[in-house]
Amino acid sequence: MSRSPIEVRVECYAGHTANETPRRLFIKERPVEVVAVLDRWLAPDHRYFKVRGDDGGTYIIRHDVENDRWELTMFTMLA
């Protein structure tokens, strides 16, 4: 069974290009600080980031650049 992505709010470090690297994400109103960017990759219509949160979770978030919309596509928590 596949689930739809969850829209999230993401604060980024903005270098010479806008929304360069995620620094904090908000799931509903709960903030999660990004402690490490584990991977990043480009798709034709999205930018993806695999990040570790300060809560120990691993998140994959994607940015729809055209619509400036962020979504959580995967989450795991270490036991």
Place of tokens 């036991």: 79
76: phi then psi, degrees, rounded to nearest 5: -135, 150
Q: Which tokens go with 47?
A: 């930018």
Judge whether residue 2 has pLDDT over 80: no
Q: Taking all residues of the chain, what is their mean pLDDT, rounded to a whole number?
A: 88
List C-alpha distances in Å: 55 to 60, 69, 74. Answer: 14, 23, 15
Judge whether residue 3 has pLDDT over 50: yes
Model-level pTM? Answer: 0.84
pLDDT at 1: 45
Q: Which tokens go with 75?
A: 């989450």
Domain ranges, ordered by start, for the chain:
6-77
Q: Which tokens go with 71?
A: 């979504």
